[in-house]
Amino acid sequence: MTWQSCRPNNTDDGVYNLMVLKHLTEQGWEPTRILSKLKYFAVPPTYTVEGLALLDCLEKLSARYPHALNVHRRVYLKVAEAAASAEASTSLSQDIQLLMTIRTTLQAIHAADPKVTSRAITVAGEVTNKIQDHNIRKSLRSIQSDIHHDKQALMSLIARAAADSNFCPAVEQVLLCLPRNRLDLLVTLLTRSLAETIEKDQVMSHASHRAHLSAWLTILGTLDARVDMRNATYLNSAIKLLANYVFPSRISGDMRARVLLIVSVFQLTHNTPSFSDSRERILHLVYSSTSPVPGQKKQLVLEFEETLALILAHMSRTTRFYTPMINVVIGLFTHHAQLHRLYRFLWAMDKQGLTLDDASSIQALVKKQVASLPEDTASLTERQRQHYAFALRTCQNTIKLLRKVAAKDTTAALQATEEKTLALQAHREFTAVLDRAAENNALPQVYTTLTADVPSSQRTALIHQLAHHYSLMTTRSHRETWRSIYYLYVFLETQSLPIGPLFTKAVVRSSIIRPLIEHRFVSARRLIWVCNLVARVESERVAKQVENNFWLWRGNLITHAKDVHNEAGGDRKAKASISRLKGIGLL
């Protein structure tokens, strides 16, 4: 063979072989025949640039020619044997090269030949002893033991990487020494451990939390980007897990906001390569923004959403990163948070004067939420009805806020959804009217089989009949009657249904006539409301009659109360209190 005839047969033999491999790879030719001549294939010295380049070249060949894996595994083993007989490492860069050697050597464990498998395990252990860093050696030795030992050892490596970003490649290489299924499980365990540490909020400082989290997400992003890690989604899986911890968490709102923003930065820079160079700059903005309420740990109700909006508002004023960041944050809210939390964030955004360019994910979430709400609530328990009412109100409030913070063309798509929420709200309220009427035995006989699915004209007629019936009932207290009729009034107003004279007569009877008959005080404020309603429905002339009769009647009542007060031995110069006299049974 030409390759063998041109070999230099000296210390440059390994460099020559590397040059041959690179040339064949560039030409698209398969070098498996050369690699299979393992006896004549010398490898470059350990700790050299050429040695590192050979490992990189072999990885590319393994990905391109998977049918030759057994040949590649034997070459990896030869590289490891050379490293095992070399001097011990003296620096982090040499440790990283040894880690790459160990990782590729461990691939030979899966070889068909049991002798190769046994030799690979032995050589990997010998190379591990050459590593200078104690924590790295400890982590590698734990690979053959329980996975929980892996977690403990790797947590110490992540702490090192958090303090020194140059240590991240070492952690990456240690992780790559694990089999894929074990790596998948370990990534989940480590991410959950970080999330639980954040949840405890006392184990380490907030700055240390952020440094650990950033280092870990950086490592996962690098793993996903590797050619030999096909279909790896470690970063996105970690982001999902962390988001699921942040939203329901009870830790300080400031910490939750910054963790969510760190997660958002990594998702943005990972999914949008044009922002990858800006990662550190955006993270610096997140770290350096001051808390809105420093030292006030008691304000937890809206602190998370308000802090989040405050940092984003600062970002919108000082950098160009606001729009892509807010889109990522909204995406995390719509995928991992409940709608009421999203509503609270939109409220905080509106308070800071922030806007949205793209509200499509929120629209989809609101539509999905509304579609999940049943039209018939008769079979729901009282607790389920409360949840239903809360969900419906949240949808309505979210749509209203979207009209403020989003562009008009993005909210126009919610017109049909908003109309459906109004219809569901009307259905729910009318069902409540029917239920209360049935409980109070106030439902007319002709309406006993009535359901909420009736035309608005029938709803209006029934509301008027109920108001009339409530105003004539004497078995219920004055306050109960007033609340029932006022609730009916609110229903008519919110649903834009007409109010007729039958209803206003019921209002006058329950608000003025009955309390005066019972010697109860009626405020001028109540009178004004009643007269305005009567004037709107019947006429101003009728309203004036009601007002005149009221003042005459109340004047007579006050005079009567004064007489009773005097007869009971009260101070003749003092005012007579109708409510007090009523309370002690003198009226």
In a domain, 289, yes or no: no
65 falls within a domain: yes
The answer, as to whether pTM is greater than 0.85, is no
What pLDDT sits at residue 575?
Answer: 63
Looking at residue 301, its pLDDT comes to: 43
Domain-embedded: residue 252: no
The number of folded domains in the chain is 2
pLDDT tens track of the chain, all 587 residues? 566 667 676 667 788 888 888 888 888 888 888 888 878 788 888 888 888 888 888 888 888 888 888 888 888 888 888 898 889 898 988 888 888 888 888 766 655 566 667 778 888 888 888 898 887 887 787 765 555 566 777 888 888 888 888 888 888 888 888 777 888 888 999 999 888 877 775 556 778 888 899 999 999 998 888 766 667 789 999 999 999 988 887 777 888 888 999 999 999 999 888 888 888 899 888 888 765 444 444 444 457 899 999 999 999 988 889 999 999 999 999 999 999 999 999 999 999 999 998 888 999 999 999 999 887 777 788 888 889 899 999 999 999 999 888 877 766 778 888 888 888 888 888 888 888 888 877 777 766 667 777 888 888 998 999 999 989 888 888 888 999 999 999 999 988 899 999 999 999 999 988 988 887 878 889 989 999 999 999 999 999 998 888 888 777 676 766 666 666 666 555 666 666 656 545 55
* 442 and 466 Cβ atoms separated by less than 8 Å: yes
Of 107, 132, 157, which one is at a domain's C-terminal end? 132
State which residues form the domain around 576.
455-584
386 within domain boundaries: no
Domain assignment present for residue 225? The answer is no
Residue 107: inside a domain, yes or no? Answer: yes
Per-residue confidence (pLDDT) for residue 566, from 0 to 100: 61
Tens digits of per-residue pLDDT, 512-568? 889 888 878 788 899 899 999 999 999 999 999 988 888 887 776 767 666 666 666
Straight-line distance from the first to the last Cα atom of the chain, in angstroms, rounded to the nearest whole number: 124
AA identity, residue 53: A
Residue 509 tokens read as 């009877």
478 occurs within a structural domain: yes
Neighbours of 144 (CB within 10 A): 11
Q: How far apart are CA 96 and CA 133, in angstroms?
A: 10
Please answer whether residues 132 and 138 qualify as being in contact, where contact means their C-beta atoms are separated by less than 8 angstroms: no
Task: Output the pLDDT for position 294.
Answer: 43
The secondary structure of 415-441 as a DSSP string is HHHHHHHHHHHHHHHHHHHHHHHHHTT
Say whether 44 sits in a helix, a strand or coil. coil
The Cα–Cα gap between 212 and 162 comes to: 5
- Helices 69-84/114-128 angle, 10° precision: 40
State residue 293's pLDDT score: 46
Of 116, 132, 148, the residue that ends a domain is 132
Bridge partners of residue 406, in order along the sequence: 356
Last residue of a domain, one of 132, 151, 174: 132
CA distance 485 to 473: 12
CB atoms within 10 A of CB 327: 18
Query: What does the alpha-carbon distance between residue 86 and residue 233 come to, in Å, rounded to a whole number?
Result: 37
Q: Which runs of consecutive H residues, i.e. helices, occur in 37-179?
A: 49-64, 69-84, 92-106, 114-128, 134-142, 147-163, 168-176
In a domain, 580, yes or no: yes
The token pair at 452 is 């909420």
